[in-house]
Amino acid sequence: MSARSHPAEPHVGSVAAKLNWLRAGVLGANDGIVSTAGIVVGVAAAAVARGPILTAGVAGLAAGAVSMALGEYVSVSTQRDTERALLHKEVQELRDDPAAELDELAALYEAKGLTPATARTVAEELTDHNPLLAHAEVELGIDPEELTNPWQAALSSALSFTLGALLPLIVILAPPTAWRIPATVVAVLLALSVTGAVSAGLGGAPQGRAMLRNVIGGGLALAVTYAIGHVVGAAIA
């Protein structure tokens, strides 16, 4: 059987990038669930009317989504600027001293376990094909053709946070007053167990441990915000 990859098969790097995006999306949804649930449960512990709960929930959703988007945009933009600076430096080095760069590339492959002769051959063939790509991948760990887009990262984070935040916001407004908080707690803990399992599955980690961490952390957050809302509501009543 031929060892060549099928043209339709994704590259390992592309698969890893997609998994990272999926994991980031799950974590964003997780943040949306916990933070918005904490807000609405805290307000529900202090107020009965739906108006204040809805207002606080929507405000928390909007603030959280904007914060996630802004933070992701700044973070990815900084990373992209750093990667571009490193690539620019590499281009200059390849232009100014290509022989030294070829020796460096061969040494990097030799350090990975190839024999000196094989490492030299690989370095020469890759340099003939695309010297910048060869150096960027091995020396810098960067794919020049797949730099992260900060706008895409920001929109993805905002969307995943919003989708997660909608769950507790909808659940707490649907049932009668006496069932609002219990229903929200159950829905949130179930959702957190799912996001914990999914994030662990994407990373190849044990799912049970991740689910337990998510559920305990979310439960503590809800307990704290409920207690604060109850105390503050009783103080201002």
Please give the model's pTM, rounded to 2 decimal places.
0.75
| Pair 215, 193: CB distance under 8 Å | yes
d(CA 47, CA 53): 8
Q: How many other C-beta atoms lie within 10 A of the C-beta of residue 9?
A: 10
- Beta-carbon contacts of residue 97 (< 8 Å; ≥ 6 apart): none
Whether 69 maps to a domain, the answer reads yes
Residue 10 lies in a domain: no
191 is a domain residue = yes
Convert the pLDDT of each residue in 169-223 to its tens digit. 999 999 898 899 999 999 999 999 998 888 888 777 788 888 999 899 999 999 9
Q: Per the structure, how many domains does the chain have?
A: 1
Does residue 3 fall inside a structural domain? Answer: no
Backbone angles phi, psi at 91, to 5 degrees: -60, -45
Q: Which domain does 27 fall in, by range?
A: 15-236
The predicted model gives 159-166 an average pLDDT of 94
Sign of CA dihedral 227, 230, 234, 237: positive
C-alpha to C-alpha distance for 53 and 198, rounded to whole angstroms: 30
pLDDT at 3 (0 to 100):
41
Residue 102 falls inside a structural domain: yes
Residue 1 lies in a domain: no
Q: Above pLDDT 70, what percent of the chain?
A: 90
Asked whether residue 5 is domain-assigned, the answer is no
How many degrees, rounded to 5, is the angle at CA 112 between CA 96 and CA 89? 25
